[in-house]
Amino acid sequence: MSENHKIIEIEVLRYNPESDDEPHLEVFKVPFSDDMSVLQGAQYIKDNLDGSLTFRWSCRMAICGSCGMMIDGIPKLSCETFLRDYYPKRIRIEAMAHFPIEKDLVVDLSGFIAKLESIDPYIIPKEPRTLEQGEYLQSPEEFNRYIQFTSCINCALCYAACPQFGLNHEFIGPGMMALVQRYNLDSRDGGSAQRMQLVASEEQGVYHCSAVGYCSEVCPKHVDPANAVNVNKANAAKDYFLHFLSPKGGSK
C-alpha cells in the first residue's frame, strides 16, 4: 500500500451468537489502495481494528470458493471484488443470503454439503476398466459436453442468489443441478438413472426452479447452473413420462 491512503467506510453485518440477540451493523474506516480487494479490507479490520471479525478465506484467487458474501446486496467472492469500485460510497458486507449465520460473515454450509453428498457426485462407471487397460478415451465432442459443468468451485453464491432456495431449503438448488449434469453428461459415467430420482423428486427436485436465472448471473466461474437446471427439467419430465411406459422406470 502506498502512503497516501484513501479511507473507505466498510459496514459489516456483525453477529456473535454468544452475545448478540440479532445481527447488527458496524462501520469500520479502512485505509485502502486501488489494488485492494474487499477481502483485504476485511483482513485489515481483523488485523488492526477488531480481531474478532470472522470470515472464511484462503486462496485469494477465486478458486477455493471460501470467501463468498453479500457485497452491497449482491453475492460475490470478496477476493475478486475491489474496494475502488465502491469508493467514495460506503460499502456493506453481509453473510451470504439464505443461509443461517454462524458468526459474522460465516454461514452454516452443512445443508449445502449434505446436498453435495446426496447426488452421488462421482463416476459410476458405464464400462468398468482396470488400470492396466489405461485411460478411457474421450473425443473432443464428448469432452466439451460436460467440461463447463466441472468448473463449479462450490462457493454457494448461486444459493444466495436463488429465490426458490430462499423459500424452500430442501430444494436441491442450482450448483448441485450443475454437478448432476457434470456426471450425467460424462461419457465415462452410467449413473444418470440413479441421480435422476433425486432430481425429479417432489420435495427437493428440479421443478422448484422458477427460472429466474440469477444463479447464472452471479456464478463467478460461468458454470451456468440455470442451463443445467433446464436440461434437468427436460430430463426429469422425460423420466416421469417414461416411468409409465417402462417397468424399470426411465433413464437416459
Given the complex with other proteins, which of 21 and 117 has the nearer CB atom?
117
Which cell is 36 given? 485492494
Residues 6+ apart with CB under 8 A from 33: 1, 2, 5, 6
Site string for other proteins, 112-151 (x = CB under 8 A): -x--xx--xxxx-x---x-x--xxxxxxx-xx--xx--xx
Minimum CB separation from other proteins for residue 26, in Å? 14
Query: In 10 A of CB 162, how many CB atoms?
Result: 29
Tell me: does residue 13 bind other proteins (CB under 8 A): no
Q: Which of residues 157-216 bind other proteins (CB under 8 A)?
A: 183, 186, 188-189
Given the complex with other proteins, which of 8 and 39 has the nearer CB atom?
39
Q: Which of residues 30-59 bind other proteins (CB under 8 A)?
A: 33, 35, 46-48, 50-52, 54-59
**69 to 42, 89, 123, 129, 174: CA distances (angstroms):** 11, 18, 32, 43, 17
SS3 category, 201:
coil
Tell me: does residue 25 bind other proteins (CB under 8 A): no
CA distance 123 to 23: 42
Tell me: does residue 251 bind other proteins (CB under 8 A): no
Instruction: Locate the DSSP E strands across 15-121.
Output: 24-32, 68-71, 74-77, 91-94, 101-103, 106-107
- Residues lying near other proteins in the complex (CB under 8 A) are found at 2, 16-19, 33, 35, 46-48, 50-52, 54-66, 80, 102-104, 106, 108-109, 113, 116-117, 120-123, 125, 129, 131, 134-140, 142-143, 146-147, 150-151, 153-154, 183, 186, 188-189
